[in-house]
Structure 1
């Protein structure tokens, strides 16, 4: 008899300690079922998102809160029978088997179970709905974005954010949480689709107008188990200063996908003359076997004549449009990933006089070429503005399909702007001086050094340094990007030959002749 009683109490204790909770007595009726569950995250991408809570097991907690028993809800029985595949599970024993199965899960097995449970719950084919829904706060409090469920029954819940079907840093997709008291806290699990964009392999770069640029969009294939179909599109916005050329490749891992079979490409013009690029994935659900692998889009574009010079640069941003609700077929959009392409310039101020100031005389008609350092081919420019007594002349780098000029001419106000240059060293050569002035004896070395902070919206910092002997040491800084270039007027130099000496000789002979004649006249008198 004693042996039988020990077995009865042992069985009761085992049920009471399911999921690792210590039991000191057989559970009794709950004192109250009015629990609050607060889930939180530090990830701002979850702000405003919906969170669903699915009750897998109901719970009965003892009056002292030290013992808990769990009962599998009817709607979750098919999950354990069909998806988990418990051996020998029947309607009569499914509760005990499910309790036993979950209580023994640890580590990666528990994480995998949470993923499977979350996907099963969200799959509309299984016909269950969330027991409670909450919304993540739009603003962080104490560094966290929170969603609060109130009035919950005690139980064991699967908590998931629709669309968060990518593993987080701990390889988790969903939260499993025991609600056994009136106030419970847990973390939001999983990650939302994101995209990382680079230009020439960086978050920002410099280029001259007409340069080709390579953009790469990188994302991760989500787990689409909960979905019958899945939307996954790359959406890219190129600023007005960037001209789209073509999509070079779309890859899953190292496998190249086929255009018009696996994806399509479309472009349209935005409201401010920018380019809207969309790479639409076709039959993306077929990529389920590649969940967790990277997917990359590579395309090329060029910096064009509308490029912003300096300033905040030419911004290019991309997002992922993705399915975020298997029940409604809704979609969400990732946070944008931005890159910036910068192009720079400087100004030459041609003057004469001993002092460089506003009162100095400016010179028109000086001609220059600009060549990359250690290169013999001058850069071709398009004249945007010829300049005047009050306006600077403006020249920008010519694109490959434009007819430009390599000769830059200063206007009446002496100032000419060189625009559309990338970082680097250049040689500025005066090829012709204004009439009446001596040409510079040496070329001028110019260094363009633009610094920027990638995706921030602050302006770039551009430093223009130069030297007057085209050397490698740039020992002078151009204030506000202006390089003063002085010309000196030509001096009147002495000459030989011509009529000058002949005239003096003739005059001398005449003087002598007149003197002789006068002397002879006096003798004869």
Structure 2
């Protein structure tokens, strides 16, 4: 009899010992259920997101708080009776014993098995067909506190064992943890938000920013992670990319899951829309995403496409910014969608100004020269082609931008206007040779070409403008020892020297002398006759 009683008490203790909490006494009714659960995260992506709390087990706690007893809620009994949902594979689960079986099963879970169970529970609770309603909801704060944490607070909770999850949250790391299991058996409880929301990382030529000349092709990559879609019957997953006015979309080169290339119009579709602003909206929409890719949850998915820097590109300044997001299903219960934080890249192109003048001093009052002709070439390369954007005037710079391949109206000869100033635009970083091919009438052509170095510096996706350094030398060497203030290179022409010639006053002098000789000869002849 004593042996039997020991077994009975041992079984009772095992049932009461759930989730690592040993019951040392028989639990009594709770004095008051009025718990506060604070959920927190340092991840700004969760700001303003909804957090749901689902009570899986009710709990009673002893007066001294040392003993806890859990009772499975009616809503969660179908979960544990379905082996595929919960992982409880005991074939003997019935309505009569499901509470004990669930207690025993969960109390023995640990490490990866417990994490996997949390994911299963979260998915099951959020699956619309299961008709589970969150016992409580809260919203993550818009701004972080002084400790850098964003928080959501549940108040007035009953004691129990809760599944806490953000709708739409998915795989956070390699162990697949994206839901929290929380023991609420005291008045104040805290837990970190688990999981991650779909994100995208955008690169241009493998970087967060790059430089290019007008007409250059650029390669963009959009990289994300396939989410766990277990809670969903269908799942929306679209790449949405906005190309600035200065970029012309070419084509999507590939969409890959890991190293596997997907098929266009079967696995995904591509659409482009020309916005009124001049921007282009590129959408790469995944087809039957859950059906085809659920088994690849956690793997990377990458879109690669090309675009060309065009004539509308912003020169210097903030550059040409474009951004990408992921549109994704964020609530299996309602079928809603959300959009990730944008990932931005910038493409920069640069320029400089030539100021043609004459005189001993380079000042605003110096005489400017029209009609000087130049070519600009990459160092040791052929002259580049440009298109005239503005002819210039006495008070305005002429503007020439780099021509695209086979563009009509292109020329390699750049001519200064009355203002003497010419803007060369659409250049990438590098060394260039500026050659005067013809001087203005009455002036001597430069004896040697000018070496120019363009060095644009930027910090990727930051919002600051690029910093551009233009340096040059007057003998086309590699020692760029002069700095172009505000990107302006002064180029001086000297007027030609007046050379001496025959005729003029020399002829007059000889004529006068001749007349005098003749006059003296006549006078001498007359004097002899009179003698």
3-state SS in 2 of match to 1:20:
coil
Give the Cα separation in 2 of the matches to 1:511 and 1:298. 97
Match 1:86 to one of 84, 89, 109: 89
Deviations 1:119-170 (A, max 9, x none): 1111112222211111111111231111111221111111111110122476
Q: Does the 8 A contact of 1:18 with 1:99 survive in 2? A: yes
Deviates more, 1:1-10 or 1:157-166: 1-10
Which of 486, 496, 514 aligns to 2:492? It is 486
Structure-2 separation of matches of 1:6 and 1:85: 27
Report what 2:446 is aligned to: 440
User: How far apart are residue 81 of structure 1 and its match?
Assistant: 2.4
User: For 1:429-488, what per-residue CA distance to the aligned partner results, in whole angstroms no more than 9, with x for missing partners?
Assistant: 111111111100111111111111111221111111111111111111111111111111
**For each residue in 1:301-326, what CA deviation from the matched residue of structure 2 results, as whole angstroms up to 9, or x when unmatched?**
11111111111011110100000011
Answer with 7-16 or 447-456: which moved more. Answer: 7-16
Aligned to 1:115: 119
SS of the residue corresponding to residue 437 of structure 1 reads coil
- Give the Å deviation of 1:262: 1.0
Unpaired stretches in structure 1, ≥5 consecutive residues: none
| Structure 1 residues 2-59: Cα deviation after superposition (integer angstroms, max 9, x where no partner) | 4344333333332332211133212111111111111111111111111111111111
Corresponding residue for residue 250 of structure 1: 255
Matched, 1:351 2:361: no
Q: Which range moved further: 19-28 or 313-322?
A: 19-28
Alignment pair present for 1:133 and 2:137: yes
CA contact (8 A) 1:86 1:97 kept: no
Task: Please say if 1:173 is aligned against 2:178.
Answer: yes
Q: Distance in 2 between matches of 1:45 and 1:349?
A: 50
Instruction: Give the root-mean-square deviation of aligned CA atoms.
Output: 1.9
Structure 1 residue 426 and structure 2 residue 432: aligned?
yes
- The alignment status of 1:39 with 2:44, answered yes or no, reads no
1:104 aligns with 2:108: yes
8 A Cα contact 1:396 1:419, kept in partner: yes
Q: Note the C-alpha offset of 1:517.
A: 5.1
Number of paired residues?
Answer: 523
Give the match for residue 380 of structure 1: 385
- Alpha carbons 1:168, 1:189 under 8 Å: kept: no
How big is the shift at 1:294? 0.8
After TM superposition, the structure 1 stretch with the greater mean CA deviation from structure 2, 62-71 or 84-93, is 84-93
- Distance in 2, Cα, partners of 1:484 & 1:169: 60
Among candidates 417, 426, 439, match of residue 423 of structure 2: 417
Q: 1:12, 1:26 within 8 Å by CA — same for their partners in 2?
A: no
The CA distance in 2 between the partners of 1:78 and 1:4, in whole Å, is 33
> Aligned ranges for residues 329-368 of structure 1 at < 5 Å?
329-368=335-374
* Within-5 A mapping of 1:161-240: 161-168=166-173, 171-240=176-245
Deviation of 1:499 after TM superposition, in Å, equals 8.9
Q: Secondary structure at the match of 1:280?
A: strand
Separation (CA, whole Å) in 1 of partners of 2:267 and 2:175: 31
Structure-1 residue corresponding to 2:476? 470
Task: Provide the rounded CA distance (Å) in 1 between the counterparts of 2:5 and 2:334.
Answer: 53
Q: CA deviation at 1:98?
A: 1.7
Partner of 1:77, secondary structure, is helix
Deviates more, 1:237-246 or 1:169-178: 169-178
Give the Cα separation in 1 of the matches to 2:175 and 2:232: 23
User: Does residue 156 in structure 1 map to residue 161 in structure 2?
Assistant: yes
Instruction: Tell me, yes or no, if the aligned pair for 2:80 and 2:102 is still in contact at 8 Å.
Output: yes
- The 2-side partners of 1:173 and 1:401 are apart by 54
Superposition deviation, residue 509 in structure 1: 6.4
User: 1:270 deviation in Å?
Assistant: 1.6
Structure 1 residues 94 and 4, CA gap change in structure 2 (3 angstroms): same
Conserved 8 A contact 1:204-1:341: yes
8 A Cα contact 2:323 2:345, kept in partner: yes
Indicate the SS of the match to 1:108. Answer: helix
Asked whether the equivalents of residues 23 and 69 of structure 2 are also in contact (C-alpha less than 8 Å), the reply is: no
Where does 1:241-320 land on structure 2 (aligned, <5 Å)? 241-285=246-290, 286-320=292-326
2:174–2:298 CA contact under 8 A, matched in 1: no
Kept after mapping to 1: 8 A contact 2:222/2:303: yes
Q: TM-score scaled to structure 2, two decimals?
A: 0.94
* Distance in 1 (alpha carbons) for counterparts of 2:320 and 2:252: 20
Offset at 1:516? 4.8
Residues of 1 paired with 2:355 and 2:510: CA distance? 50
Q: Distance in 1 between matches of 2:519 and 2:353?
A: 67
Deviations 1:244-266 (A, max 9, x none): 11111111111111111111111
C-alpha separation between the residues in 2 aligned to 1:489 and 1:205?
43
Give 1:55's aligned residue: 55
C-alpha displacement at 1:92, in angstroms?
A: 2.7
Structure 2: distance between partners of 1:300 and 1:511: 91
